[in-house]
Structure 1
Amino acid sequence: MTVPGRRSSTFSRLLRHGFTDPSGAERLLDVPELSALRGDPVLLDALGATADPDLALRGLVRLVEAQAETERQTLTTTLLSAKPFRDRLLGVLGASEALADHLARHPRDWESLVTYEAVDLHPGVAEFERGLSEAVDPVSLRVAYRRCLLAIAARDVCGTADLAQTAAELADLATATLRAALAIARTAAPADAAMCRLAVIAMGKCGGHELNYVSDVDVIFVGEPAEGADEAKAIQAATRLASHMMRICSETTVEGTIWPVDANLRPEGRNGPLVRTLSSHLAYYQRWAKTWEFQALLKARAVAGDPELGAQYIDAVSPLVWQAAERENFVPDVQKMRRRVVDNIPAAQVDRELKLGPGGLRDVEFAVQLLQLVHGRSDATLHSGTTLDALAALAAGGYVGRADASQLDEAYRFLRAMEHRIQLYRLRRTHLVPEDEADLRRLGRSLGLRTDPVAELNKEWRRHAAVVRRLHEKLFYRPLLDAVAQLAPGEIRLSPKAAGQRLEALGYADPAAALRHLEALASGVSRKAAIQRTLLPVLLGWFADSADPDAGLLGFRKVSDALGKTPWYLRLLRDEGAAAENLARVLSAGRLAPDLLLRAPEAVAILGDPGGLKPRGRDHLEQEVLAAVGRADGAEQAVAAARGVRRRELFRTAAADLIGSYGTEDSPREPDPGALVDRVGEAVTDLNAATIAGALRAAVRAEWGERLPTRFAVIGMGRFGGHELGYGSDADVLFVHEPREGVDEQEAARAANRVVAEMRRLLQLPTADPPLLIDADLRPEGKSGPLVRTLKSYEAYYRRWSLVWESQALLRAAPMAGDLELADRFIELVDPLRYPAEGLGEEAVREIRRLKARMESERLPRGADPTLHAKLGRGGLSDVEWTVQLLQMRHGWAEPGLRTTRTREALAAAHAAGLIPTEEAQTLDEAWVLATRVRNAVMLVRGRPGDTFPSDPRELAAVARYLGYEPGHVGEMVDDYRRITRRARAVVEELFYGS
């Protein structure tokens, strides 16, 4: 019993010592088993120093209660008299509920914490092997393992061992455990043990001597036959031993499990044999291994089994690791690895992920390993499997700035310490920062944060994660800038060879040129150079993430040279993060957008405006173009002004398309490719219509002032009329005029022909911009017919001479420029032709099919692959469009939704009307969108139009990136294109040809 006054005093003392449940603590202190400890203030001080005093006290009561009477007296006496022991025991109990459970089940294990001799402060494998030596089965091995783990945790929480020492001790304990498990397996199967030699190679954090408290232990097994044994039977025996060893560590016993042993890093992963001979391993690595497998081998370390065979394995694979950066697929593999795989992390957990989240442990480890692979070819001092040791070696060798290395080391230690203490609590494998206030408080206190543990923990965690995020990219590129800027005398700099190696490994095909560009941009003491040195580390990372980093850097230099004296340019890139990333994506995606930008560099401002990438509507564009034409001195100057608007707006459209296709940190990738296609088609159509309107106004003003003697309209045809233009499409048109009242018909015709000739001349003037070619070959009588006709002439021709293909062409007719009332009357005139009453007759259907078949056989370019030609190939644009147009001509008279010039809109209307089943409609739409995107991609990448995939590997990779494929997946892109268009062709055979 306690008197009220003393209870009140104890209650206050408990609060001061960090207890969150002082009432519960008072009850625990009153249990009879603690009578020898209750009044000693030393105990409260020691409990108050732990991460969780309440948890420590509960664990202590359980431990004391579990003791026999004589052992209890020994324990309490030792607690009161030996401060080091008291701190170790209570420190573990206050940090780990799981180890408290172990001590309650094995109450004598506290004795392992009593004495630390100098030689025992940082035990190695031999000491741990002695600690496990009496284990003869999985249960006793688990108990002995936990006893050793108890000592490691005690050194950790008391600060006797730092982060690196703790991680190394955990790896050594894992090594000793693997050896013990293998010994148990060998004892159970002596015949198998005699038949083979088996080596266990540790990988991952165990191989790197930096293990967590709870982690899979990654291994690879190497086997050879014992002298005189058959190889096949020996490998079978080795496989049985390896499997048994894995089960001993991984299976659940009455004492739980030790940890899973994971052999999935072996050749061919889980599909490959568990044990291979050394020669089999080498054959795989030399022929089939991917870059990530060599990155994994960087940490390989022989830990158990036959030591001679293990050493042979390490000696054999090490040279392959350090040659990995010279492999053909190294760059695309690195690009894939550089994209963190966070898709499988629930969105609500990304910000709590210590390992895989932004600024997490994986960022540090990947950065260090990549730099090791790049520079370890020629510098053996970098050949370490331990992250912090490798980071120190990189700094010592001048591959990483010393200040950056120091910050990264500090951040990595803090994040790993967080990970250790989170796992230590319940000995569960997790990398998530807890959300519960009590868990956060215990975690913060365990790291020495005592004033306001939760707030301090969050602040420190976010600070270190931000450092990692900032340095992750900077680590690769800032030393490159230091190598060329020559600003800090005495700083170790990358040698030209090392700088070139790094640039090559990051995808730069001409590292010498890249270094020249960096020097031109970043050297000197001007404010401009200082801002560039801030921008370039991040920009270089974005360039390296593209299909053509060299082009991105060269383009950036050209734009910077053009705008370098403009005060807003670098300020925009520095202060508007989206502008810099958007610029990097655009400059490294191909030739079209950079060429447009270099002719109008001030358009960079578009990339920093939140609404800058939205296309301008036709009314807005036409108003701007006509105003510019009206201010010009002559027709040629007027068209040059119109072209200036077109150039800027074409850049806006291309930039929005590229950013929507690739995505950026601020603007994720557009999930609907069809929406991108529609947006581009509408924008380019509106832009070309406004430009043609400007050319028409310029041509009229040059000779007739503001009023042409005849009313004049431009009708869009083909993709122009369908609002489906691509970047490289011609503008198919018809010209129609009607004499004004009182004007002679011949005079009107001469004026109309002269204005058409002048328009075409003006639009064909030489320019570096993508050309705008107007094609009037779809007019009556084709190339042999007059370029321009009156409305009556069109009416007479179509009434008497029109062929079915002309009616089909008119499906796309839409007003584009000039006299819109006249254009609308033309549309009224042709509607009965393109949507014939009661539909098409069978003879007309047969004629359309004959024309399509002839076009397929005659118009495909010689040597073109019909499975890859986006326009005329199998399942391409022509196939889909002719199928949709046949439906329009057969059913448009009865289905108003089919009366549209747009392919996708007509296809959707046909599906809504029940004319085409859902799956078939989706197949045609997918193929049409894909083929359109391929054509757009080719123009964006090459700067000139094309209907099939480029043959140049870099251009092909850029097309793949535009279409949403990760680096290294070009073959998958081509296979997908063939598959999708093959399915579309099957639908066309059924719907168009009636097969």
Structure 2
Amino acid sequence: MSSLTRTLITLGFSDLEKSERFLGFRELADLDQGELLQSLKLANDPDLAVQSLVRLLSAVPAVYGKLSVPERETGRQVPNEALFRLLGASEALVEFLIRHPEHVDVLDTFPSPEPVAADAGALRDSLLAAVGAEPASAIPVAALTGTPARIALRTRYRRHLAELAIRDLCAASPQDVMPLVGAELADLAAAALDAALAVARAEVAGQFSFDEVAAVKLAVIGMGKCGARELNYISDVDVMYVMEADGGGLDESRAVAVGNALASAAAQAIYAPEREPGLWEVDANLRPEGKDGPLVRTLESFLSYYQRWAHDWEFQALLKARAIAGDRALGLRFEQAVSPLIWTSSEREGFVASVQAMRRRVTANIRDSEAGRQLKLGKGGLRDVEFTVQLLQLVHAKNDESIRVKATTAAIDALMRAGYIGRTDAAHLDQSYRYLRVLEHRIQLVHMRRTHLMPRAPEQLRALARAAAGPLSLKRPTAETLLEDWGRVKREVRALHERIFYRPILVTAAHLSADDVALTTDAARARLAALGYRDTAGAQRHIEALTAGVSRRAALQRQLLPVLLGWLADGVDPDAGLLAFRRVSEALGTSHWYLGMLRDHQAAAERLCHVLSSSRLVTDLLEVSPEATAWFGNDKELVPLTFAAQWAEIQSKMSRHPEPAGAIRLIRLNRQREILRIAIADCSGLLAQDQVSAALSDVDRATVLGALMVAEADVYAGEPPLVHVLVVAMGRQGGREIGYGSDADVLFVQQLVPGTAGAAVEGPAQQQAKAIVSKVMSLLTQPLKPAIQAERVLSIDADLRPEGKNGPLVRSLDAYREYYSRWSSAWEAQALLRALPMAGFDGLAAEFVAMADPVRYPAVLAEADQREIKRIKARMESERLPRGADPARHVKLGRGGLSDVEWLVQLWQLKHAHLHAGLRTTSTLAALHAARGLDLVGEGDAELLEAAWRLAGKVRNANVIWTGKPSDLLPSARRDLEAVARWCGYEPGQAAAFEEDYLGLTRKARAVFERLFYG
């Protein structure tokens, strides 16, 4: 290894071979290599610096005279810090100096020990002068237009940008000067827009008269980081345009046309393709109605929109709005007019959902490949800080004007001074934000590209580490230390959000550290309300009950509640969730495993909070069986038990409790436990829709079989049995397609026990069968003593039996055979399509299926029977739909709902199953898939029908999960619809989109049904 190579390694070079080659280029041949290397040591990226230096010296020889400068105190020559720091930080700005060598005098800047931002007025004057406009004029008009104007504007802008970058790079502490840098970047952008407007006035004067142009006042409102004076080095500049006609005889349409032309021309001056590259995109998409809305509006039009149509997130966006260019008086009137709307937005209906939606947008657009590299949108990134600060402002600034500030660092300070953030937390939040912004700035400076991603290459990480540390850093920054520091900051930011927003709520109820903010009761309730808690007084009582005292549980929950409150708030009903959490916590007391799960198993605790605030069914069941909370921490416990496992457990319990009351109690408790297990797994996203139906069907099957065994043992009472009894599942139970609120549609079949004296004992046999069936129904539905709280009783419905309610409750197999051969109607054959033996004697089950198959799969379905089925379907829609129910919203009997799909599939089965075995199934979807394979339905139509059927089933289940009660209606109430939408896989705040999708899908499914069923 040569001495030069060792020196380069010591100085922080990475690409040794390439850098040695550049050091040998003729442009550097006459320089003292030792002095040059010591100069390059100043650069954050010495590899980039030496390459950029060669290119710059080759293009601009005058730079040779700027390699060193006289030291301010001693006058001796020292390396030009401005030059070498710029060379190692921004290839893009070096390119600018190569294109415009007349501006290399920016390198004469001597670093100031205390950098000060350039005056905003001076920047405006400079850029206006660059395009030949008079800065003092009330309506500046440029002397230059077209290409000359654009080149002049962009060149002067980049001159000032290079001056700022040098001051930034030479600052002793990058974090200390970050707010000044962001403010100057915003002022420079505002100056560029003023100059661009001057150019636009000159350019559109050919399209409109100068009097018309002069008569239109146009104010540019900066949004986002530009409005807050915390802009990045390279970023879209978000704007809105406010216009006003001031005389000139203009009608509003003509004035709007002038305003549109000015706004468009100004944007073109900023970023249209040209020999001097564009600066940044002028983005007006935050305006009312976004891209579809008018580019310019009058102040009255803005206010009308915000008062009548605006989404809540638009008021959060307005928090940063500031007049930055154009007519300042009009811009200030806009700021004053929208201010009351901003600070009262937290009172609007749906504010919580909109804020949550804004928070989700933070990560919505992150690609998987970028998730771990995001400075801005990732967890613990810039947006988390900004969200925390903005949410606190929106909650409290309604009554406290001192925190109505725009810049994030200034807002943190204001919130701390007003007592909404503790001093220590405010300092940490401020430091974290500054650190992340410095990383962002340094990354963007290199190529002047809009990016928020951490680099991957080790040499780039090393350069970034040096840039973030600053020139006075005492430690040697490395790629490893950079990643460690960044990881620590991300974790701190996530924790700060929880501490800053949630912990002060607890101070009103429990003793915390001295540095914690002590909010007034009203302020604490305001925060709870902003999170979505409606009964804020009740929420405070629950918090007090959970955190009061000196027990281990209270101490742990004081630590955990800041996090848990946030997770509960992410659900649909935080109030119900917090109450349920309190009840579960009180029921489990100081259970060692419960407290351990909350403390050590974040995923389980988050899942618990989500379920508690989103499911009345689960919370009701958990109050009865709080020990099931342990399942949240173990996915294996949430796997539904198979029918065989349940039946084995039931048999074991029956053997230990032979008396009917004890046995059936345990069987029903087993059913309730398994429903809870399935519901938790379902809420946690561990089960697909089909798996839920199959698991619930297994639970009901095991329960009915257990009840049948208990009933037979009780009725026989030691006497020889005369009959076997079979329970046949019908309807959705027979198709194994049930939901949480389903009854059990059944038929009861009896058969004489072989060896019984036939007809002589049919009377006693029938009586015994009736006694068994009555006992089964009684065992499953009668109240127990003591009662099982919150029990989901399994109702038995035998109305699908021959002759309906007027027919015998139980018949012999022969009686069924005779009835179906002589008297049955088409609808009864249709009902048998989903007949599936559920419990009882296996031999009888096989015989029943053999008897039923010729009936439900007839060789020919008569035309009269087809007409009868269609008539019954139409009659059912008109007569069975509940009074006042909207047919479009009834998921079972309504248009495109469950009934439409099932009756269409069943008609195909009746017509074709005799010849096609694939249609011989009790499953609706299996039969639909078979029908598609037989070309009875086109692929597109089949997909529509399946999608509608599945979605209707999800809505049915969601109603029970959310309210604890069955309902066949798509909810219309906002909160209920939101809950159902989330259950169906929609993001929070997307209830309206879900409703539209459901109605649209079922409308299309209905059209398919009518065409294929009645056609």
Q: TM-score, normalised by structure 2?
A: 0.91
* Matching of residue 933 in structure 1 with residue 979 in structure 2: no
Alignment of 1:118-267 (within 5 A): 121-132=116-127, 134-136=129-131, 137-160=149-172, 162-188=177-203, 189=205, 190-232=210-252, 233-267=254-288
| 3-state secondary structure, aligned to 1:547 | coil
Q: Which amino acid aligns with 1:220?
A: M
Out of 905, 912, 928, which is 1:907 matched to?
Answer: 928
**Correspondence for 1:664:** none
**Correspondence for 2:144:** none
Out of 598, 613, 616, which is 1:591 matched to?
Answer: 616
Distance change >3 Å, CA 349–CA 460, structure 1 → 2: same
CA distance in structure 1 between the aligned counterparts of 2:76 and 2:574, rounded to whole angstroms: 64
Distance change >3 Å, CA 637–CA 422, structure 1 → 2: same
**Correspondence for 1:271:** 292
Distance change >3 Å, CA 800–CA 186, structure 1 → 2: closer
* Matching of residue 800 in structure 1 with residue 817 in structure 2: no
Q: Which amino acid aligns with 1:334?
A: V
**Correspondence for 1:333:** 354
Q: How far does residue 75 in structure 1 lie from its aligned partner after superposition? A: 5.3
| 3-state secondary structure, aligned to 2:121 | helix
**Correspondence for 1:104:** 98
Alignment of 1:938-949 (within 5 A): 938-949=959-970
Contact 2:542 2:579 in 1 (8 A): yes
**Correspondence for 1:827:** 849
Q: Which amino acid aligns with 2:47?
A: D
Out of 350, 354, 362, which is 2:375 matched to?
Answer: 354
Q: Percent identity?
A: 50
Distance change >3 Å, CA 974–CA 586, structure 1 → 2: same
CA distance in structure 2 between the aligned counterparts of 1:342 and 1:382, rounded to whole angstroms: 27
Once the two structures are superposed, what CA deviation does each residue of 1:953-983 show, in whole Å capped at 9, x if it has no partner?
3223211221223344433333322222222
Contact 2:693 2:736 in 1 (8 A): yes
Q: Which amino acid aligns with 1:166?
A: V
**Correspondence for 2:32:** 38
Once the two structures are superposed, what CA deviation does each residue of 1:645-681 show, in whole Å capped at 9, x if it has no partner?
1111101112222222xxxxxx7xx7xxxx41x2222
Out of 776, 779, 794, which is 1:762 matched to?
Answer: 779
Once the two structures are superposed, what CA deviation does each residue of 1:263-288 show, in whole Å capped at 9, x if it has no partner?
22222222222222221211111111
Contact 1:186 1:192 in 2 (8 A): no
Once the two structures are superposed, what CA deviation does each residue of 1:96-125 show, in whole Å capped at 9, x if it has no partner?
111111222333433234345789733221
Q: How far does residue 416 in structure 1 lie from its aligned partner after superposition? A: 1.1
Once the two structures are superposed, what CA deviation does each residue of 1:903-928 show, in whole Å capped at 9, x if it has no partner?
11111111112222212222221221
Q: How far does residue 23 in structure 1 lie from its aligned partner after superposition? A: 5.4
Out of 674, 691, 708, which is 2:703 matched to?
Answer: 691
**Correspondence for 1:56:** 49
Q: How far does residue 93 in structure 1 lie from its aligned partner after superposition? A: 0.8
Deviates more, 1:140-149 or 1:397-406: 397-406
CA distance in structure 2 between the aligned counterparts of 1:947 and 1:239, rounded to whole angstroms: 52
Alignment of 1:495-894 (within 5 A): 495-632=520-657, 634-660=659-685, 675-676=688-689, 678-704=690-716, 708-743=721-756, 744-766=761-783, 767=788, 768-836=790-858, 838-894=859-915
Once the two structures are superposed, what CA deviation does each residue of 1:319-339 show, in whole Å capped at 9, x if it has no partner?
111111111231221221121
Q: How far does residue 68 in structure 1 lie from its aligned partner after superposition? A: 5.1
Contact 1:639 1:762 in 2 (8 A): yes
Distance change >3 Å, CA 30–CA 829, structure 1 → 2: closer
Q: Which amino acid aligns with 1:568?
A: W
Contact 1:197 1:224 in 2 (8 A): yes
Q: Which amino acid aligns with 2:691?
A: R
Q: Which amino acid aligns with 1:770?
A: R
Alignment of 1:250-399 (within 5 A): 250-399=271-420
Query: Aligned-pair RMSD on alpha carbons?
Result: 2.5
Deviates more, 1:744-753 or 1:888-897: 744-753
Once the two structures are superposed, what CA deviation does each residue of 1:607-641 show, in whole Å capped at 9, x if it has no partner?
21122222211111122123223322631222111
| 3-state secondary structure, aligned to 2:791 | coil
Q: Which amino acid aligns with 2:120?
A: V
Distance change >3 Å, CA 751–CA 106, structure 1 → 2: same
Q: Which amino acid aligns with 1:586?
A: V
Contact 1:503 1:511 in 2 (8 A): yes
Deviates more, 1:558-567 or 1:179-188: 179-188
Distance change >3 Å, CA 653–CA 112, structure 1 → 2: same
Contact 1:178 1:245 in 2 (8 A): yes
Q: Which amino acid aligns with 2:531?
A: L
**Correspondence for 1:427:** 448
CA distance in structure 2 between the aligned counterparts of 1:703 and 1:159, rounded to whole angstroms: 93
Contact 1:208 1:301 in 2 (8 A): yes
Q: Which amino acid aligns with 2:40?
A: L
CA distance in structure 1 between the aligned counterparts of 2:4 and 2:986, rounded to whole angstroms: 67
Q: How far does residue 36 in structure 1 lie from its aligned partner after superposition? A: 6.3
Contact 2:68 2:78 in 1 (8 A): no
Distance change >3 Å, CA 22–CA 130, structure 1 → 2: farther
Distance change >3 Å, CA 573–CA 490, structure 1 → 2: closer
Out of 956, 973, 993, which is 2:994 matched to?
Answer: 973
Q: TM-score, normalised by structure 1?
A: 0.93
| 3-state secondary structure, aligned to 1:484 | coil
CA distance in structure 2 between the aligned counterparts of 1:760 and 1:68, rounded to whole angstroms: 100
Unmatched tracts of structure 1, length 5 or more: 1-6, 661-666
CA distance in structure 1 between the aligned counterparts of 2:65 and 2:39, rounded to whole angstroms: 19
Distance change >3 Å, CA 402–CA 769, structure 1 → 2: farther
CA distance in structure 1 between the aligned counterparts of 2:542 and 2:975, rounded to whole angstroms: 21
Q: How far does residue 13 in structure 1 lie from its aligned partner after superposition? A: 2.7
Q: Which amino acid aligns with 1:97?
A: E
Q: How far does residue 206 in structure 1 lie from its aligned partner after superposition? A: 0.9
Q: How far does residue 181 in structure 1 lie from its aligned partner after superposition? A: 2.4
Contact 2:182 2:231 in 1 (8 A): yes
Contact 2:211 2:248 in 1 (8 A): no
Distance change >3 Å, CA 802–CA 234, structure 1 → 2: closer
| 3-state secondary structure, aligned to 2:325 | strand
Deviates more, 1:232-241 or 1:900-909: 232-241
Q: Which amino acid aligns with 2:857?
A: Y
Once the two structures are superposed, what CA deviation does each residue of 1:453-508 show, in whole Å capped at 9, x if it has no partner?
21122222222222223334444322212332223357431211111111112211
| 3-state secondary structure, aligned to 1:929 | helix
Unmatched tracts of structure 2, length 5 or more: 132-148
CA distance in structure 1 between the aligned counterparts of 2:503 and 2:405, rounded to whole angstroms: 23
Distance change >3 Å, CA 138–CA 938, structure 1 → 2: same
CA distance in structure 2 between the aligned counterparts of 1:978 and 1:33, rounded to whole angstroms: 73
Distance change >3 Å, CA 187–CA 120, structure 1 → 2: farther
